[in-house]
Amino acid sequence: MRRDISSGTRLTRTAVVLLTCAMVVAAVAPLAAPVRAQSDAGTADAAADDQRCFPDSGRDLTIGDGNPHLNVTVHTSLFTSPSPPSALGIAARGVAVDADIVELRTGVLLERAPERVSADAVWDSFVILFDYRLSLPMFADSIDDSTYEPAGGPVSGVETRGC
* pLDDT tens sequence for the chain (163 residues): 455 555 456 555 655 555 454 444 444 333 333 333 333 333 344 434 444 688 878 899 999 988 899 999 999 998 888 788 889 999 999 999 888 999 999 999 888 887 777 777 777 888 899 999 999 988 888 888 889 988 877 877 777 887 7
Q: What is the pLDDT of residue 24?
A: 43
The domain in which residue 88 lies consists of 34-161
Query: Strands, E, within 21-125: which ranges?
Result: 59-63, 69-75, 86-96, 99-110
Q: What is the pLDDT of residue 23?
A: 45
Q: What is the pLDDT of residue 26?
A: 43
Instruction: Please indicate, yes or no, if residue 17 is contained in any of the structural domains.
Output: no
Q: What is the pLDDT of residue 124?
A: 80
Determine the Cα–Cα distance for residues 30 and 59; give it in Å rounded to an integer.
9
Q: How many domains does the chain have?
A: 1
Q: What is the pLDDT of residue 139?
A: 85
Whether the pTM exceeds 0.85: the reply is no
The amino acid occupying position 79 is F
> Using the 8-state DSSP alphabet, how is residue 58 labeled?
-
Determine the Cα–Cα distance for residues 39 and 52; give it in Å rounded to an integer.
5
Per-position b or e across 101-138, b if 16+ CB within 10 A of its CB: bbbbbbbbbbbeebeeeeeeeeebebbbbbbbbebbee
Instruction: Please indicate, yes or no, if residue 23 is contained in any of the structural domains.
Output: no
Answer for the pair 90, 75: CB distance below 8 angstroms, yes or no: yes
Count of CB atoms situated within 10 Å of the CB of 69? 13
Determine the Cα–Cα distance for residues 153 and 132; give it in Å rounded to an integer.
9
Instruction: Please indicate, yes or no, if residue 156 is contained in any of the structural domains.
Output: yes
Instruction: Please indicate, yes or no, if residue 8 is contained in any of the structural domains.
Output: no
